[in-house]
């Protein structure tokens, strides 16, 4: 059994087994390549993880121009990230773009950061994004300065008019309607563009619009507490006594609208206005630069006539001076006369009368409202009446004129009524219509039918007379003219040169000439010797003795 080589108790020497040597492991050089590649990959992953920025999501209405792993995110034309994925929201109304930002871009995760897609656009500020026609669309970014951060944003559908870091101030303008203004509409100061409209929204009560504007530095220092803003959109055309005028800020304001501002020359306030201050946006420069109108007074007028052509905002004038405007035109019903009078409401500004208003109020005691009512009562007693007059014959537009009519009937005026009711008189055009109606009534009373029948009979008689003239008188007249023409021809032939008739006519004219000469000599002689008519001719002097005289035979006188 000792010879058994598998006997564990046998010693190695006794078993005679060979000595086992440890084998050396040899690594092939070919394994170094994947090892180095793996190390490089790990280092790149570590480097990418260390250099990676925050990840955010931005939602847009459409993914037009966006491509995953291709569309870049830029700030001031510097790439700060890339779109890595695009998905739809759960309700499929918007798209969500996942953006990997670069390192050190924490400012773009602030709560007030903004993102938008840059595409070719044509807007109020002009043409933008033209370079994307070749390079493709990208996402524009604007950092924020808020303290809070977030990672989900709602993208803008249009670029913001004012980007981060631009110096200037924001102001709010209050107006009744937006007109042709839009985001990006320019702001002008002395026709120089100095800012733009950044947003607009309805007021809380829904009766106006709040327009937010941004004025760039250093022009924002020119806006004071007394600065006036007005809508400079379109073209302002006026035709006045000094001629035809056309006024506009620029071509862009005609197309896209605009706002202009300026402080009055008489303004004593030169301190710059604080940011976010509110101003009133006037319709035009004339209203903006006018002095303060002061408190308004609401009055009412009742017209028993049609007021077609009288619109809201029609002017109200006092002796030709604009002092207010019409704010309402409504129908009423009078049960006693069963008629429909027109009630016109107007807002008047007594301060527009200037020094005249101050002098008149100085004579009356009480508060401003009581003094104004008392002043109107005095005017009504002196004949103040409201009248609807034609302001434009071409368009038929009417306006309200307050003027004194000394012949107006007395009325009862209540100074305590609210609103104050100003009595009215018919308009001049209505009076003209009444006069025309009276003329028409008189014409309608004329016996037109009998006059027409008599005229028809007269025309028939005239027709018969003309027929008789054409049939009888005209042929006879024609024959008479022919005979007269023949007679004239015969006379011309008889009086031709060398004819006996012409010789006889010449002799006759000579005899007449001699007779006339003898009569003249006799007249001269009788003028010298009138006694010869009684005593006869004196032998010593006879008419024949005068030069050019004639014989007694020529004078057809017998000698005495």
H or E element at residue 3 = none
- Can you tell me which residue has the tokens 């506009």? 248
The predicted structure's pLDDT at residue 526: 81
Q: Domain ranges in the chain?
A: 34-154, 168-289, 297-426, 500-555
Judged against a pLDDT cut of 70, whether residue 547 lies above it is answered with no
- Residue predicted with more confidence, 257 or 263: 263
> What's residue 210's pLDDT?
92
207-235: average pLDDT:
87
pLDDT tens-digit readout, 311-363: 888 999 998 888 899 999 999 888 888 889 999 999 998 888 878 877 887 77
**CA–CA separation, 250 and 554 (whole Å):** 109
Would you give the distance in Å from CA 309 to the centre of its chain?
19
Bond before 218 cis per omega within 30 degrees: yes
Does the pLDDT of residue 550 top 50, yes or no? no
Instruction: Name the residue with higher pLDDT: 17 or 491.
Output: 491
Nearby residues of 450 by Cβ (< 8 Å), 6 or more positions away: none
User: pLDDT digits over 418-447, tens only?
Assistant: 888 999 988 765 666 666 777 777 777 777
Calculate mean pLDDT across residues 259-270.
Answer: 79
111's CB contacts (< 8 A; 6+ apart) are: 144, 146, 147, 148, 149, 150
Residue 189 host element (H or E) = strand 186-189
Question: What pLDDT, in 10s, does the model give residues 82-127?
Answer: 999 999 998 989 999 999 988 888 888 888 899 988 887 665 555 5
Angle at 160 between CA 155 and CA 162, to 5 degrees: 145
On whether the CB atoms of residues 96 and 58 are closer than 8 A, the answer is yes
Burial 484-500 (b: 16+ CB within 10 A, else e): eeeeeeeeeeeeeeeee
Angle at CA of residue 277, ends 272 and 282, nearest 5°: 95
Of 126-140, 398-412, 463-477, the least confident: 126-140
Q: Is 90 exceeded by the pLDDT of residue 213? A: yes
Average pLDDT over residues 75-86: 90
- Which pLDDT belongs to residue 194? 92
Length of the chain: 560
What mean pLDDT is reported for the chain?
A: 79
């Amino acid at each position: 059994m000792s010879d058994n080589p598998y006997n564990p108790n046998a010693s190695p020497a006794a078993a005679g087994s060979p000595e086992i040597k440890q084998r050396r492991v040899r690594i092939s050089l070919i394994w170094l390549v994947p090892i180095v590649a793996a190390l490089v990959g790990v280092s790149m992953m570590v480097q990418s993880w260390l250099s990676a920025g925050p990840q955010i999501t931005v939602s847009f209405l459409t993914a037009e121009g966006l491509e995953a792993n291709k569309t870049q995110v830029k700030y001031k034309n510097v790439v700060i990230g890339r779109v890595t994925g695009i998905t739809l929201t759960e309700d499929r109304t918007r798209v969500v773009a996942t953006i990997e930002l670069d390192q050190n871009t924490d400012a773009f995760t602030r709560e007030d950061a903004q993102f938008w897609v840059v595409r070719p656009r044509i807007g109020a500020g002009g043409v933008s994004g033209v370079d994307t026609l070749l390079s493709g669309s990208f996402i524009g970014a604007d950092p924020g300065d808020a303290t809070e951060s977030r990672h989900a944003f709602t993208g803008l559908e249009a670029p913001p008019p004012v980007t981060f870091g631009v110096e200037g101030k924001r102001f709010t303008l209050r107006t009744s309607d937006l007109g042709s203004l839009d985001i990006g509409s320019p702001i002008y100061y002395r026709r120089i563009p100095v800012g733009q409209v950044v947003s607009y929204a309805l007021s809380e009560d829904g009766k106006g619009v709040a327009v937010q504007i941004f004025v760039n530095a250093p022009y924002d220092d020119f806006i004071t507490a007394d600065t006036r803003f007005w809508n400079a959109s379109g073209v302002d055309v006026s035709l006045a006594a000094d001629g035809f005028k056309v006024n506009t800020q620029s071509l862009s304001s005609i197309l896209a609208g605009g706002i202009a501002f300026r402080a009055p020359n008489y303004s004593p306030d030169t301190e710059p206005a604080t940011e976010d201050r509110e101003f009133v946006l006037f319709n035009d420069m004339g209203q903006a630069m006018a002095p303060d109108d002061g408190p308004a007074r609401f009055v009412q007028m009742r017209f028993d006539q049609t007021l077609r052509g009288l619109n809201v905002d029609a002017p109200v004038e006092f002796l030709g001076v604009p002092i207010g405007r019409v704010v309402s035109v409504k129908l009423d019903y009078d049960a006693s006369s069963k008629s429909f009078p027109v009630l016109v409401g107007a807002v008047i500004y007594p301060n527009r009368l200037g020094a005249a208003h101050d002098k008149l109020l100085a004579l009356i005691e009480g508060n401003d409202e009581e003094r104004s009512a008392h002043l109107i009562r005095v005017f009504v007693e002196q004949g103040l009446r409201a009248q609807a007059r034609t302001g434009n014959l071409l368009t038929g537009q009417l306006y309200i004129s307050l003027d004194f009519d000394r012949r107006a009937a007395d009325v009862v005026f209540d100074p305590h009524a609210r609103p104050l009711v100003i009595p009215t008189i018919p308009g001049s055009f209505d009076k003209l219509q009444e006069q025309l109606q009276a003329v028409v009534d008189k014409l309608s009373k004329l016996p037109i039918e009998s006059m027409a029948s008599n005229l028809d009979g007269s025309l028939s008689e005239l027709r018969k007379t003309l027929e008789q003239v054409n049939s009888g008188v005209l042929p006879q007249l024609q024959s008479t003219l022919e005979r007269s023409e023949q007679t004239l021809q015969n006379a011309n032939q008889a009086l031709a040169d060398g004819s006996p008739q012409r010789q006889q006519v010449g002799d006759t004219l000579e005899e007449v000439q001699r007779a006339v000469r003898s009569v003249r000599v006799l007249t001269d002689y009788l003028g010298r010797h009138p006694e010869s008519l009684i005593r006869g001719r004196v032998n010593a002097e006879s008419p024949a003795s005068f030069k050019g005289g004639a014989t007694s035979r020529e004078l057809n006188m017998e000698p005495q």
